[in-house]
């Protein structure tokens, strides 16, 4: 961990994005997370969410860490790093395990999750997350937290998120070249969702759509669990490119025009509004209707939301997203995004800002900080789970055994303690029997 100056544990989120690297320093205490420092610097080392130039990325990470460090007054040694890009895939898997001791323990849950991740994965890919959708105890399904429940068989349905190993390794390598240890690599939309969604929204079903510079990330929560995640390689930079080409203006000016005067919906722009467009190659600036700018932006935004809608439709879960869509990421700062998204997605839409932290909140209030803040929240959660594991009593050594050869466990089945080797044989047997 990084060295804190105060009592709490320090957790640092490192969002290595297509347009910026952002380091967020949080102090985690029992009563919540306090943001102590933020460092955000432009980065040109990534393409569509994937590291394409190590040196440029390393330079940006160093700068971002340095300014976050100075602001927070801590030395940063360990980070939770984000990863995105269209190499990310998610697939459904399940697992089953006998409940040792008749009551579900943390160890049972870990074992059943271990089983769910035991599926063949391509040699060049790695499992990033095993996200439980629901647990099943005997015949009862739809369970969120099975610990403490009675039964003989524990099942789980999960979403397995996999990533191209080289893409993950490149993020880790960049961090290591800045003398940072990576505590965990986290799927960026997972982090964003952590910082912008309320528990109620997770419960009744919601889509988080993070539109950054190079990628648009989708994450669906259904019944309190993550049901789908995917990454589309299109984002705000595509809008900027369209403006630069359409108005024949340099990229930097196109980005500036987009931020200051852009609008996603042409009909929201009055006919008499005008903008000044700087020329390229020594050409003088010229004035043109603001409507011309929105006419360039609108088709690209429409395309992005149409692809998002198709992805969501393909999951078959659209009817279960009662809380609608929560838009986050820098590109949603464009005027008219929420209104346009509502029309195309056909569901209620709101803009998601990072919430649930205190301290320097004014510095991380924008949707472009959702991932960085979410990484801190994710890291804090991992730490508290690790503490709970340490505090938990050792795994039960008792195991229910079958006292007849009928293949059914009788109601009065004996509870007895078995040596480890016997237990594992019995374990295999129970797995087959169920």
Ligand X SMILES: Nc1ncnc2c1ncn2[C@@H]1O[C@H](COP(=O)(O)OP(=O)(O)OP(=O)(O)O)[C@@H](O)[C@H]1O
In whole angstroms, what is the distance from residue 68 CA to residue 363 CA?
11
Is position 132 an interface residue for Mg ion (rule: CB under 5 A)?
A: no
Distance of closest approach, residue 371 Cβ to Mg ion, in angstroms: 5
By residue count, the chain amounts to 434
Concatenating the DSSP letter of every residue in 290-356 gives HHHHHHHHHHHHHHHHHHHHHHHHHHT-GGG-TT-EEEESGGGGSBTHHHHHHHHHTS-EEE----S
Task: Tell me the CA distances in angstroms from 109 to 90, 388, 394, 423, one per residue in order.
Answer: 21, 13, 14, 17
- Of 241 and 402, nearer to ligand X (C-beta) is 241
Provide the pairing of β-strand 78-83 with 181-187.
parallel
The residue among 99 and 349 lying less far from ligand X, judged by its C-beta, is 349
Binding string, 342-381, against Mg ion, x = CB under 5 A? -----------------------------x----------
Q: CA nearest 262: which of 234, 210, 310, 298?
A: 298
- Residue 98 vs 231, nearer CB to Mg ion: 231
Q: Residue 83 Cβ, how far from ligand X at the closest point, in Å?
A: 10
DSSP 268-294: GS-TT-EEEE--STTPPPEEEEHHHHH
CB closer to ligand X, 111 vs 291: 291
**352 interface partner picked from Mg ion, ligand X, none, CB below 5 to 8 A per type:** none
* Cβ–Cβ < 8 Å for 352, 327: yes
How is residue 172 written in tokens? 């880790």
Q: If we measure between CA atoms, which residue out of 371, 94, 77 comes closest to residue 217?
A: 371
Kindly state whether residue 336 participates in binding Mg ion, applying the rule CB under 5 A: no
Residues that bind ligand X (CB under 6 A): 17-20, 49, 84, 212-215, 235-237, 240, 255, 258-259, 262, 329-331, 333-334, 368
Site for Mg ion in 186-215 (CB under 5 A): 212
> Minimum distance from CB of 255 to ligand X (Å)?
5
Q: In angstroms, give the least distance from the CB of 367 to ligand X.
A: 7
CA nearest 333: which of 423, 211, 218, 180? 211
Which partner in Mg ion, ligand X, none is near 262 (CB below 5 to 8 A by kind)? ligand X
368 binds, among ligand X, Mg ion, none (CB under 5 to 8 A by kind): ligand X
Task: Enter the DSSP assignment of 105.
Answer: -
Is the CB of 212 or the CB of 374 nearer to Mg ion?
212
Please choose which of ligand X, Mg ion, none residue 240 contacts, taking the beta carbon within 5 to 8 angstroms, the exact cut-off set by kind: ligand X
Nearer to ligand X, 109 or 376 (CB): 376
Identify the burial level of 416 via C-beta atoms within 10 angstroms of its C-beta, where 0-12 means exposed, 13-18 middle and 19 or more buried. exposed
In the complex, minimum distance from the CB of residue 273 to Mg ion, in angstroms, rounded to a whole number? 30
Adjacent-strand bridge partners of 276:
287
Nearest approach in angstroms of CB 258 to ligand X is 5
Q: At what angle do helices 54-72 and 165-176 cross, to 10 degrees?
A: 50
Using DSSP's 3-state secondary structure scheme, residue 203 falls into helix
Interacting stretch for Mg ion, rule CB under 5 A, among 11-19, 98-106, 277-285, 395-403?
11-19
Q: Is 266 in the site for Mg ion (CB under 5 A)?
A: no
Q: Which does 331 bind (CB under 5 to 8 A by kind): ligand X, Mg ion, none?
A: ligand X
Give whichever of 187 and 409 is closer to ligand X, judged by the CB atom.
187
CB of 21 to ligand X, least distance (A): 8
Q: Which lies closer to Mg ion via its Cβ, residue 88 or residue 154?
A: 88
Q: For residues 27 and 217, which CB has a smaller minimum distance to ligand X in the complex? A: 217
Cβ of residue 66: shortest distance to ligand X, in angstroms?
A: 19
* 12, 67 Cβ separation under 8 angstroms: no
């Amino acid at each position: 961990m990084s060295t804190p100056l105060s009592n709490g544990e320090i957790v640092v989120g490192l969002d290595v994005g297509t347009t910026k690297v952002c380091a967020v320093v949080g102090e985690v205490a029992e009563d919540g997370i306090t943001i102590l420092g933020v460092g955000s610097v432009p980065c040109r080392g990534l393409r569509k969410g994937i590291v394409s130039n190590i040196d440029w990325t390393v330079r940006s990470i160093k700068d971002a860490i340095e300014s976050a460090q100075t602001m927070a007054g801590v030395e940063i040694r360990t980070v939770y790093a984000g990863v995105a890009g269209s190499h990310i895939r998610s697939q459904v898997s399940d697992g089953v395990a006998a409940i040792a001791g008749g009551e579900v323990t943390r160890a049972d849950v870990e074992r059943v999750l271990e089983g769910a991740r035991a599926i063949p994965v391509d040699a060049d890919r790695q499992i990033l997350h095993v996200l439980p959708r629901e647990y099943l105890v005997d015949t009862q399904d739809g369970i969120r937290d099975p610990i403490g429940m009675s039964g003989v068989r524990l099942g789980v349905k999960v979403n397995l998120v996999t990533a191209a190993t080289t893409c993950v390794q490149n993020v880790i390598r960049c961090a290591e070249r800045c003398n940072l240890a990576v505590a965990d690599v986290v799927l960026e939309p997972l982090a964003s969702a952590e910082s912008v969604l309320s528990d109620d929204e997770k419960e009744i079903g919601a889509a988080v759509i993070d539109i950054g510079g190079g990628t648009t990330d989708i994450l669906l929560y259904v019944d309190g669990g993550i049901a789908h995640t995917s990454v589309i390689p299109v984002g705000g930079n595509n809008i900027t490119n369209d403006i630069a080409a359409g108005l024949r203006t340099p990229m930097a000016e196109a980005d500036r025009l987009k931020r200051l005067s852009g609008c996603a919906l042409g009909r929201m722009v009055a006919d008499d509004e005008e903008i000044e467009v700087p020329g390229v190659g020594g050409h003088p600036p010229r004035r043109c209707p603001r409507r011309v700018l929105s006419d360039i932006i609108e088709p690209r935004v429409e395309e992005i939301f149409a692809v998002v809608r198709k992805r969501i439709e393909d999951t078959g879960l659209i009817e279960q997203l009662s809380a609608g869509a929560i838009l986050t990421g820098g590109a949603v700062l464009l005027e008219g995004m929420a209104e346009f998204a509502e029309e195309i997605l056909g569901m209620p839409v709101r803009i998601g800002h990072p919430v649930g932290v205190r301290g320097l909140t004014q510095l991380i209030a924008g949707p472009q900080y959702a991932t960085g803040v979410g990484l801190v929240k994710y890291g804090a959660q991992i730490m508290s789970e690790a503490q709970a594991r340490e505090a938990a009593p050792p795994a039960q050594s008792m195991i229910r055994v079958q006292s007849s050869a009928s293949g059914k466990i009788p109601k009065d089945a004996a509870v007895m303690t078995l040596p480890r080797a016997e237990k594992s044989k019995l374990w295999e047997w129970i797995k087959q029997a169920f």
